[in-house]
Structure 1
Amino acid sequence: MNPIQSCIVTVEQDGRPRRRRADTVERLLDAALETFAETGFAAASVEDICRRGGFTRGAFYSSFRTKDELFGALFVRETARNLALAEQHLLGIEHESDPVTAAVERCLSSFRADRTWVLVLTEYRLHAARHPEAAAALLEHSASLHARLTQLVEDGVARAGLRLALPADRLARMILALHDGLVVAQATDPAGHDDATDLERTALLLLLRSAVTPS
């Protein structure tokens, strides 16, 4: 049995096939991220992704039914990584003399703004605008992201002894909209990275200072 075949075995002792399957999924996601960024979501084929990752179509279809389902897993992975970093960086925020400034500085180092993911996400949003099923799936994934970010905002504000002047879910949406808009602009002007970061820092500080008051 070759390595590709062994990845899709479903029954074996010690859970080894499960670990191999998880490894296969991660490698497929990595290959998809690179392929979508290079070729575009619509133009990229399953064969292109498998070729880059070193898999057969069988390995792909043992984990995903469609490219859209693959993108969904990619969205979950990338956003989960960002939120996990933000959550980690916000630990102890209540001990800072200026929790708002500290939160902004810490989180700016957490949210990925790499050109690869920005290109993939932006193009998929355009794809979803033309395909209702993709739009529905993206809306569901985005809702989960908003819910987690909302909880992160609520927890941070409570620990810092502050009070929100607007609902946490609306503030979370504002933060995401601000971040997404700036990183898309940055993707078309890589030389403006420092300016974009400074602009995001200033905008986030203004937004958060107007949104919170002492408890």
Structure 2
Amino acid sequence: MPPTARRATRESRSGRGLRKRENTRARLREAAAEVIMAKGMEGARIDDVVRRAGFTRGAFYSNYSSLDEVLNEAIVERLAAMVERIEAAADAIEGEPTIDSLMEMLDSLRSEARVMYIICTEHMLHRMRHPDSPQVPAAGRRVLDTAIAGCVESLLARMGRRPVVAAQGIGDAVCLFFLDSLAEEATGMTIAGHDADDPRAYLRHIIGAIIMALSAPVTEGDAEAS
């Protein structure tokens, strides 16, 4: 076989090996997220992960050193996917955004947000119990924060408004109440003052209040300053 053909064969095998390894890691990350969703971080075991992924412990340890490590990668991966979903949902709003269209946008994110909320809460509780355990890389969280702030600024601009505090602060406030609504929905519990018969109407009221209170109409002076 000519040298160029042998080199091409080696490169082809190497490429297949890399793809196989990444597919294995992806299945382990997905399995870890599913197990932790079902059992919590304290109840999850590596045997649970490999069983769900269809691999052996050897396959796990040839890719990851611990459950913490695979969970951290799973969180970063899901944060990146969440960023894409948020940006796509914001772009899908036609015309000038309204509180109703913003609520529809949040509703479209409920399923993914619920998964992220549970996984990240489990990770946070695990870190509180075990402070020496690995942290999720800060860069992963910053990607989400930056994306949310960018969406807030873009949506407000389309509404003819501007933030009067940091856009990330508005995003954090909306996320706080949105995630709280997911917890209430899952547990059936309501916080004093919430409308138990229509919790989403209460959420709509709160988000509308946040948007109006933390933003202001764009004026000619704002346009000139920019």
Q: Find the counterpart in structure 1 of residue 180 from structure 2.
A: 181
Unaligned runs of 5+ in 1: 1-10
Shift of the alpha carbon at 1:49?
Answer: 0.6
Q: Residue 183 of structure 2 aligns to which amino acid in structure 1?
A: V
CA distance in 1, matches of 2:149, 2:113: 23
Select which of 204, 207, 210 maps to 2:210. Answer: 207
SS where residue 132 of structure 1 aligns? coil
Opposite residue 19 of structure 1, the aligned amino acid is R
Distance in structure 2 (CA, Å) of the matches to 1:78 and 1:144: 11
Q: Structure 1's 187 and 117: CA in aligned 2 closer, same or farther, altered over 3 A?
A: farther
Kindly indicate whether residue 64 of structure 2 is the aligned counterpart of residue 60 of structure 1: no
Q: Per-residue displacement from partner, 1:21-62 (whole Å, max 9, x unpaired)?
A: 232222212211221122221221112210111111222223
CA contact (8 A) 2:161 2:215 kept: yes
Structure 2 gap ranges (5+): 1-10, 190-194, 219-226
Q: Distance in 2 between matches of 1:13 and 1:171?
A: 50
Cα distance, 1:136–1:33 mapped onto 2, change above 3 Å: closer
CA distance in 1, matches of 2:43, 2:94: 48
- Residue in structure 2 matched with residue 42 of structure 1 by the alignment: 42
Residues 175, 204 of structure 1: 8 Å contact kept: yes
C-alpha contact 1:113 1:183 (8 A) present in aligned 2 = no
After superposition, the CA RMSD in angstroms is: 3.2
CA distance in 1 between counterparts of 2:93 and 2:39 reads 42
Conserved 8 A contact 1:72-1:141: no
- Which stretch shifts more, 203-212 or 140-149? 140-149
Q: What SS is found at the alignment partner of 1:64?
A: coil
1:29 aligns with 2:29: yes
Describe the SS at the equivalent of 1:95: coil
Contact 1:94 1:161 in 2 (8 A): no
Q: CA deviation at 1:75?
A: 1.5
TM-score norm. by structure 2 comes to 0.74
1:19-168 aligned within 5 A:
19-91=19-91, 93=93, 95-96=95-96, 98-112=97-111, 117-134=116-133, 136-137=135-136, 141-168=140-167
Which piece of structure 1 moves more, 175-184 or 133-142?
Answer: 133-142
**Change over 3 Å in CA distance of 1:119–1:94 after alignment to 2:** closer
Residue 168 (structure 1) shift: 0.8
Identity rate, percent: 28
- How far off its partner does 1:163 sit? 0.7
Determine helix, strand or coil for the equivalent of 2:136: helix
The 2-side partners of 1:13 and 1:23 are apart by: 15
The alignment partner of 1:213 has SS state of strand
Distance 1:195-1:16 versus aligned 2 partners, 3 A rule = farther
SS in structure 1 opposite 2:202?
Answer: helix
What is residue 3 of structure 2 aligned with on the other side? none
What TM-score do you get using the length of structure 1 for normalisation? 0.77
Q: Aligned partners of 1:90 and 1:45: how far apart in 2?
A: 38
Q: Which string of whole-angstrom CA distances, capped at 9 and with x for unpartnered residues, describes residues 93-140 of structure 1?
A: 5722x4444233223212436765544332222112222244743766
Judged with a 3 Å threshold, the aligned counterparts in structure 2 of structure 1 residues 38 and 111 are, in CA distance, closer, same or farther, namely: closer
Q: What's the CA shift string for 1:178-198, capped at 9, x where partnerless?
A: 2222222322229x9984433
Which 10-residue stretch deviates more, 87-96 or 65-74? 87-96
3-state SS, counterpart of residue 163 of structure 1 = strand
1:137 match: secondary structure: coil
- Which deviates more, 48-57 or 70-79? 70-79
Q: 1:21 to 1:66 in 2, by over 3 A?
A: same
The change in CA–CA distance for 1:135 and 1:47 in structure 2 (over 3 A counts) is: closer
> How far, CA to CA, are the matches of 1:200 and 1:143 in structure 2?
26
